[in-house]
Amino acid sequence: MEPRKVDIFDTTLRDGEQVPGASLNRDEKLQIAHQLAHLGVDVIEAGFAASSPGDFAAIKTIAEQVKGPTITALARAVKADIEAVAEAVKPAERKRIHMVLGTSDTHLETKFRKSRDEILEMGVAAVKFARNLCDDIEYSTEDASRSDFDYLCRTLEAVIDAGATVVNIPDTVGYAVPEQWGDLIRRIIERVPNIHRAKVSVHCHNDLGMATANSLAAVKAGAQQVECTINGVGERAGNASLEEIVMAIKMRGDFYGGRTGIRTQEIYPTSLMVRELMNMPVQRNKAIVGANAFAHSSGIHQDGFLKNRLNYEIMRPEDVGIEKSDIVLTARSGRHALRHRLEKVGHYYDASHREAFEHIYARFLTVADRKKEVTDEDLHHIVSDAPMDVPEQYLLEDFHATSGSQQAATAHVRIHISGESIAESGTGSSPLLAAFDAIDRITKLPSHLEDIQTSANGKEGVHNVTVRVSYHTQTFFGRSADTDVVKAGIQAYLSSLNQLVARHSGLL
Ligand SMILES: [Zn+2]
């Protein structure tokens, strides 16, 4: 029997992007969307169109440029939201409007203050309205896991009659457990008379660590679409993780009897890109994509593994795109080798990106000078440091920082500002903060340092530093990477300040 197709609906750019600190600009969203198309997802949820003009523009750009998957965006069940999605996804080859309306009594009573019948009417009217703008309509019954079963079924039947083509059953609060959740999906399919006219979808959250298990229980029960995100990013404890669901369906086809359209070799490059651009690292022991997912450390395991890898490994790392470098990148590697390796990890630079590529090549050479070998993770750090279209008003000339157990850290920083070279000293609880103090004394900007995140891998690794700076209600992110954490931090800080003064030139 031909295995049943399970659609993969990726919501990294909507549910995942709602996470504080994980927000993406338009170019970053577009870059991830291209990679998701490459990965082979069936649907990309590109954002929440009515949330901001910026998100609307990002969705529209993705709809214009990303070919292959269906492009959708989220709407509440109100006309303005639905129109915004219809307008944003209009340029796409395949498009869908996704709307959400609660069905649990908690949501009805406290969020909407409306009766069950009133909400049902509102949902049906919204679907009918949306069907005039788009042929493919997905309806999500928010908080379904805590909704009354009869009311949930009545709602599904009514919205399918009104024209919904996909009905999504979300475990919005991560309350479900696998056996019960699978049973709920099975009972919905049995009970709702017109259910065969729509696809059944699930959207599970990971508050109890069961998002993947619940999604798979639903697939087993007959769900035809799963909503998920790369690395499981998403609200609170996150969404079901795409890589886990896809690999479980693939590895345990004997049990699930299904298949997805995912090119699994693209999983790892996609995972790296998302963790980098969203500033969301994954833990080392994360299933499928963690640094240790294919590492064998105990002696007994190593011995057994070397005799036959199947002793301790159910999948091959290359099946998910983790491969031993065919070319070792060193200071002697040329542009061709670098471009080839970048493509393997999901970064494409054609003739139109010459300037960006040259910048990356220069950064690569500086890193390679100080390290024997440049790893794929280093490459992602280097790429994420590529310049944005912001003039560099502040440019680091040199710095010196010290710290010790008996004294506060001190730093001396020299910066180039419009033809002048200015130096200052600063102090702080760490060399990084001392350097920032020195920079503040030079720039005298009224901005506020909100957050610093650093990450590094290995003892020779590249340090990736992200700095978040606020000015009134605006936030500016600066990123940089270097083998020296203080230098990376200074550059990240200056990058955020350069963005700030680009927007508010009066502050200079
Ligand atoms: Zn969600």
Q: What is the 3-state secondary structure (H, E, C) of 485-497?
A: HHHHHHHHHHHHH
Instruction: Calculate how far, in angstroms, residue 507's C-alpha sits from the geometric centre of ligand 1.
Output: 40
Which pLDDT belongs to residue 79? 97
Distance 145 CA to ligand 1 centre (A): 13
Q: How far, in Å, from the CA of 203 to the mean position of ligand 1? A: 7
How far apart are alpha carbons 145 and 168 in whole angstroms?
Answer: 12
How many angstroms separate the alpha carbon of residue 103 from the centre of ligand 1?
A: 15
What pLDDT was estimated at residue 389? Answer: 57
Class of domain 394-507 as given by CATH: alpha beta
Return the half-sphere exposure (C-beta side, CA atoms, 13 A cut-off) of residue 457: 16
CA–centroid distance, residue 407 to ligand 1 (Å): 48
What residue has token string 């990303």? 66
CB 108 within 8 A of CB 115: yes
Domain 4-277 homologous superfamily, CATH: Aldolase class I (3.20.20.70)
Closest of 368, 328, 359, 335 to residue 482, by C-alpha:
368
Residue whose token pair is 């040199």: 398
Mean pLDDT over each residue of the chain, to the nearest integer: 89
Statement: residue 325 has pLDDT above 50? no
Beta-carbon contacts of 493 under 8 Å, excluding residues fewer than 6 positions away, are 435, 436, 439, 449, 467, 469, 478
Distance from the alpha carbon of residue 15 to the mean position of ligand 1, in angstroms: 5
Residue 170: CB partners within 8 Å, gap ≥ 6? 100, 140, 141, 142, 143, 144, 145, 202, 203, 204, 205, 227
20: which residues sit within 8 A by CB, 6+ positions away? none
Going from the Cα of 213 to the center of ligand 1, the distance in angstroms, rounded, reads 16
Ligand 1 geometric centre to CA of 304 (Å): 42
C-alpha neighbours within 13 Å on the C-beta side of residue 94: 10
Q: For the purposes of burial, counting CB atoms within 10 Å of the CB of 281, is it exposed (0-12), middle (13-18) or buried (19 or more)?
A: middle
- Tell me the CA–centroid distance for residue 141 and ligand 1, in Å: 11
Ligand 1 centroid – CA 293 distance (Å): 26
Residues 243-264 pLDDT 10s: 999 999 999 999 999 999 999 9
Cα of 18 from ligand 1 centre, angstroms: 9
Q: How far is the CA of 20 from the centre of ligand 1 (A)?
A: 14
Distance (angstroms) between ligand 1 centre and the Cα of 430 equals 38
From the CA of 144, how far away is ligand 1's center (Å)? 12
Element counts in the chain: helices (H) and strands (E): 17, 16
The pair phi, psi for residue 251, each rounded to 5°, is -70, -30
What is the rounded average pLDDT of the residues 63-85? 97
CA distance 496 to 356: 19
Question: In angstroms, rounded to a whole number, what is the distance separating the alpha carbons of residues 186 and 452?
Answer: 47
Contact 418, 435 (CB under 8 A): no
Q: Where are the domains of the chain?
A: 4-277, 294-322, 325-387, 394-507
Residue whose C-alpha is closest to residue 268's, from 225, 206, 324: 324
**d(CA 79, ligand 1 centre) in Å:** 22
Ligand 1 mean position to 14 CA, how many Å?
9
Checking if the pLDDT of 162 tops 70, the result is yes
| Cα 240 to middle of ligand 1, angstroms | 9
pTM score over 0.85: no
Give yes or no for residue 298 having a pLDDT over 60. no
**pLDDT tens string 101-135:** 988 888 888 888 889 999 999 999 999 999 999 99
Length of the chain, please? Answer: 508
Please tell me the distance between residue 142's alpha carbon and the centre of ligand 1 in angstroms.
Answer: 9
User: How far is the centre of ligand 1, averaged over its atoms, from the C-alpha of 172 (Å)?
Assistant: 6
Q: How far is ligand 1, taken at its centre, from the CA of residue 202, in Å?
A: 10
Predicted confidence (pLDDT) per residue in 440-489, tens digit: 999 999 999 988 888 776 666 788 888 888 887 777 878 888 889 999 99
